[in-house]
Chain A
């Protein structure tokens, strides 16, 4: 059974584990925590379509699997299209009486940032635009981690990756992160949210709402990557929390176009606290950090204007 009650405290998260151990994800992997909670929410009657990526290769090395749900992987760029096909088939087979029309079977697409922001964007757009009843979950570790930390459209400004190296002329990623939420919004889908594994009740509640939504929903979850972000295995949650507390990652929920900040941050920490924990930002000078701080200040201002309140407060040293 899928989780049907609202999640207010940690005790509302189901105890049953539906993400089997034995996978080969790294110690401290953010995505592993996300998958564990996602499978708790969706229960048995969900079909998962997964894009190629870290989670796919680490959980399905034949003959082992971590998945207790029917699970399909086709390729890197087509989680949206595959999920559309499953959903259309369920619809037709229910209408024709092959599958019990009263049985709720949800389709869940899972992809990383590469499979969503970059190579999978077209297939995601098609799926959202056509209004398929699919819940799409993005675990965003901000680079192509599975192939060894290459820059993606989700890589943040200044971050070192193997394809945005820190050299004499160029110092890490030159562009800010692509606005995926803006792209999802433009499709006018009923439910969009951002989440963080550092806020599990908020994340699980959002996954639950996305699951309950009739029509396309998208949950965009930040997923710290220990080797890729150059962080200590035990710092995953700390870093994920600091992303929120510094305003680099705002926990949003947009229901039918109406935005809300679900975890308010009355007093922000400076971005330096988030950056300094991560090897991928180690090269940044005070000047470069100031530039990122300014970018985040503007982003926070934009969010506050959008939600119509001071959801994220000023920086307090």
Chain B
């Protein structure tokens, strides 16, 4: 799954010379490497496509003595997450990975992980949800966990899978945060695609994301026994929930700090969002994951035609970067979202749109806007289709008409404009 391309000694000014080599790796392999380099103590593994190679690789690293961790071969994802939450409470750096139905199966424990403030890290190779059963990529699984109180980092390419996971351990275990973090990688599109990767190696990862940082203590300690996971009566439940609201809100600072320092040390800076050709953009699309790469390609094509197109990539879906997005969209003439997820029966059926529209509305920013769904269940999205979406947005801007429904692009035998009439 990996081969060394070249021995590389980069001489970038001011950068730490940690990049020993550039390798070619799939997203799954990059995830397993990050976990190995983070020296996790416990992994719970259970096979599901398309994340299964992460589980296999971790098992291999342990079998080869490259990683000293306890691997729990759980009997299902519900137990996988239960086990790593319990392991984290015992003081271990704990990890699991899943996809799609596996995430749904552990859904109950997603809330418990964040409510008990356990800093577990999970990789999610995003995949469509049944039925019909489908093993290919979309973001239905990831968007289904937005309400569960996790920090959610989306990756655009294989390098970001590795970098996000490294940062995830630092963010999750930060004494001011203590929340679980999920890092997504688009199923197949990233999980199984070989791309160049510069891993940092264990020494660097452990210096960037040190284990058991100051102020961190195991929750389950016989010398300091406490009761965790208590009954919260109406007298106290609400207070616990509000603390969780504040913790997730304030994790933003730690996420930004980690992204900045990562940039300083390794030359790849990470923010809550990434802006692409936004300085003078008139038409902007917001997207996330590997889909953002396609939108960037469409922007390049449109720029050649003289269209002032730009794009915003959301890296951090939770906590939602409302201020940053509002600021980025303040000066565009029209904006739209492109997403691979559906919120059935919602006011707007593309779920990213509702959040951005709300973030803008409360700040008094109202302008032509639209939302697009495409690429469900691994349906390819072509750059020319995104160019067409930009043109649709341009037409909406010019005509000044209000678009009240999501455009379902690329459905066979369906004109997306018909959705507006429904």
Tell me the A residues contacting B by CB distance below 8 Å.
Answer: 44-47, 49-50, 56-57, 60-63, 65, 67-75, 77-78, 80-86, 88-93, 95-96, 98-99, 105, 122-123, 125-126, 129-130
Contacts and interface: CB of A to CB of B under 8 A. Distances in A.
Contact of A75 (B87, B90, B109): B109
A86 B228 contact: no
Interface residues of B, number: 46
Contact of A82 (B85, B212, B224, B236): B85
Contacts of A46: 222
A45 B223 CA distance: 8
A69 B86 contact: no
Interface in B69-107: 69-70, 72-76, 78-80, 82-92, 94
Contact of B229 (A74, A123, A130): A74
Contacts of A86: 86-87, 89-90, 220
Contacts, number: 155
A78 B74 CA distance: 11
Nearest to A105: B222
B225 interface: yes
A53 to B, nearest CB: 11
A163 B280 CA distance: 67
A91 B90 CA distance: 11
Q: Which of B41, B73, B116 has the most CB of A within 10 A?
A: B41
Nearest to B225: A70
A83 B85 CA distance: 10
A77 B74 CA distance: 14
Nearest to A91: B70
Contacts of A99: 91
Contacts of A73: 228-230
A74 B86 contact: yes
B207 interface: no
B90 A89 contact: yes
Interface of B: 41-42, 44, 68-70, 72-76, 78-80, 82-92, 94, 108-109, 112, 116, 212, 219-222, 224-233, 236
Contact of B231 (A62, A75, A96, A125): A62
A260 B212 CA distance: 47
Contact of A85 (B90, B228, B233, B236): B90
Contacts of A96: 41, 68
Contacts of B230: 60-62, 65, 73
Contacts of B42: 85, 88-89, 92
B284 to A, nearest CB: 43
The 9 A-B residue pairs whose C-beta atoms are closest, nearest first, are A85-B86, A85-B83, A73-B229, A81-B79, A89-B90, A126-B75, A89-B92, A81-B82, A78-B82
Given A57-B231, A74-B109, A122 B70 contact: no
B279 to A, nearest CB: 49
Contacts of A62: 230-233, 236
A75 B82 contact: yes
B78 A98 contact: no
Contacts of A75: 82, 108-109, 112
A96 B224 CA distance: 21
